[in-house]
Amino acid sequence: MYKRKIHKKRLIGLIAFSALFLALAGVIVYTTSSEAHTNNHAIKVDTKYPQVEVATTVNTKSGYTIEFPLLHIKEIDQVIKSYLTNRISNFTKNNQGKKLVITYDIAHFSKQTLSINFTEQLNKKSNQTIMKNTINIDLLNKEIIQLENLFASGNSNEYLEILSRIASNELKNNEEISLSDKEIDKVTAPMKENFKEFIVFNNSIVFILKPNNNVDIPLAISKSILEQMLRDPYKSGDQNADVIKDIEPSDIITELPKKEIQVPLDKKVIALTFDDGPKAGTTNIILDALKKYNANATFFVLGSMAEKNPELLKEIAERGHEIGSHSWDHPQLTKMGNKDIQDQIERTKALIQKITGYAPTVFRPPYGSINQAVYHCLGDTPVAMWDIDTEDWRYRNKNYIVQSVMDGVGDGKTVLMHDIYPTSAEAAVEVIRQLKTQGYEIVSVSELKEIQKQRQQAQAK
Ligand code: ZN
């Protein structure tokens, strides 16, 4: 009943696992019919991965041809078997009398993960693919990796927001994608359904977006920008390195997109800046208010504070706010030697980059003290000062701080506050609310600069 083409070296292994294989074949046949069939089974060694055997089950009566990898690890073969059983059962329900061919290829194979692409066709000659599915198996935990298993559970839907932002930005800026903005918004919305198809590589994760049944859009995202959210087993490293060199995805996205500025040029704008943080308990209050009123801000952080609150710094960046550097620990830079200045600037920059994936885009010197030596160390990084100083560090009174901002506001101004005092955080919430009521668009300092540039260009025309 069983015909097998067996590689001689594999024979011993096969005998040991023949019981498993019989069980597997039985399950596949099970979904077809209760009658007796003629089944042909073949096993050969995968040409690329010697540790994998390619099993083929042909059910001549129903015409199924199912090709699948056998790893001879009981739980994993069981996972694959369950997957296939489901697929066949699903096909039988919807396609009575038709013939299903399933083939596969291995997209990635490491100690930690195995990614298998299954292709379902109506019959092999017609080459008509009806479905492509990828399953990712955690070889050490011996289970299928679902989307939510990839990411740490801390901030439950944060990863979806990030994936959505990256995908939307990529699709809208790719000329080869012929989808409307509305279609892009739908396929990139922060929902598990949109990102459930993926392949885990060592340095990237490829998400396969499916705007409709006929189109697959692969989106390769570097793990470097997802690193902080990824669960440890799936971070880049030895465990996830290719066992045999895989075909790496090209065009990997390595930067988080900035939030788009869409401010009408005639709208009043104001930049809010928060210095000396981030600090748990106070920065969060400001972040929530910014979110509530759909506002952006720049946080001029200290390296020493960011080191104590890395998660918070990451959150600021992930919410699309701008991160500026404010030195490592707030010295008066103009009183320091070149080497110390450089140390203050470079150390902070490296830490911000490590935590957020971005170098700080702007710098504000402590006390506003700056000289040529500091400019020299900063290189291309622009310096941003302020127009409205609330002196909130001195006046720890919410109403006083709110009043001093509102007395000074005007189109194009920059407000300086500190996100390390509870009174300042409370005042910021009220300031944001009042500015919105007065019709201001609240932006980061770089956005303000960009808007002012655009206005000048518009005027020059
Ligand atoms: Zn400061």
Confidence band for 260, pLDDT divided at 50, 70 and 90? low
Least confident of 38-47, 232-241, 312-321, 419-428: 38-47
pLDDT digits (tens, 9 = 90+) for 184-222: 989 998 889 999 999 999 999 999 999 987 788 999 999
- Spatial neighbors of 299 by CB under 8 A, at least 6 apart, are 273, 274, 275, 277, 278, 283, 316, 321, 322, 323, 324, 419
| Residue (of 104, 95, 121) closest to 32 by Cα position | 95
pLDDT digits (tens, 9 = 90+) for 267-282: 999 999 999 999 999 9
**Of 453, 309, 398, residue with least CA distance to 299:** 309
Tell me which of 242 and 302 has the higher pLDDT: 302
- According to DSSP, residue 232 is labeled G
397, pLDDT greater than 60: yes
Q: What mean pLDDT comes out for the span 38-64?
A: 79
How far is the centre of ligand 1, averaged over its atoms, from the C-alpha of 418 (Å)? 7
Q: pLDDT (tens digit, 9 = 90+) per residue, 110-119?
A: 999 999 999 9
Give me the pLDDT at residue 4, please: 30
How far is ligand 1, taken at its centre, from the CA of residue 117, in Å? 53
Residue reference for tokens 């401010």: 263
- Average pLDDT, integer, range 336-363: 93
Residue 241 scores a pLDDT above 60? yes
Q: What is the average per-residue pLDDT within 325-347?
A: 97
Q: Give the residue among 118, 145, 120, 139 at the shortest CA–CA distance from 200.
A: 145
- CB atoms inside a 10 Å sphere around CB 310: 16
Instruction: Indicate if the alpha-carbon torsion angle 128, 133, 134, 140 is positive or negative.
Output: negative
pLDDT at 328 over 70: yes
Buried b (16+ CB within 10 A) or exposed e, 346-373: ebbbebbeebbbbebbbbbbbeeebeeb
User: Which residue out of 275, 276, 392, 419 is catalytically annotated?
Assistant: 275
279 burial (CB, 10 Å; 0-12 / 13-18 / 19+) is buried
| Cα–ligand 1 centroid distance for 299 (angstroms) | 11
Q: How far is the CA of 408 from the centre of ligand 1 (A)?
A: 20
Q: What is the pLDDT of residue 31?
A: 31
- The whole-number pLDDT of residue 22 equals 32
Distance 386 CA to ligand 1 centre (A): 12
Top mean pLDDT of 34-43, 274-283, 353-362 is at: 274-283
Catalytic residue, chosen from 41, 108, 326, 418, is 418
Helix extents (H) in 64-190: 74-94, 147-150, 158-172, 181-188
The percent of residues above 90 in pLDDT, for the chain, comes to 57
Return the pLDDT at 93. 78
User: Does residue 418 have an active-site annotation?
Assistant: yes
Angle in degrees, 0-180, between the axes of helices 283-292 and 422-437, rounded to the nearest 10:
10
| Alpha carbon of 330 to ligand 1 centroid (Å) | 6
**What is the average pLDDT value for the chain, to the nearest integer?**
85
> How much is the average pLDDT of 233-248?
87
- How many angstroms does the Cα of residue 290 sit away from the middle of ligand 1? 21
DSSP state, residue 10: G
CA 326 to ligand 1 center in whole angstroms: 7
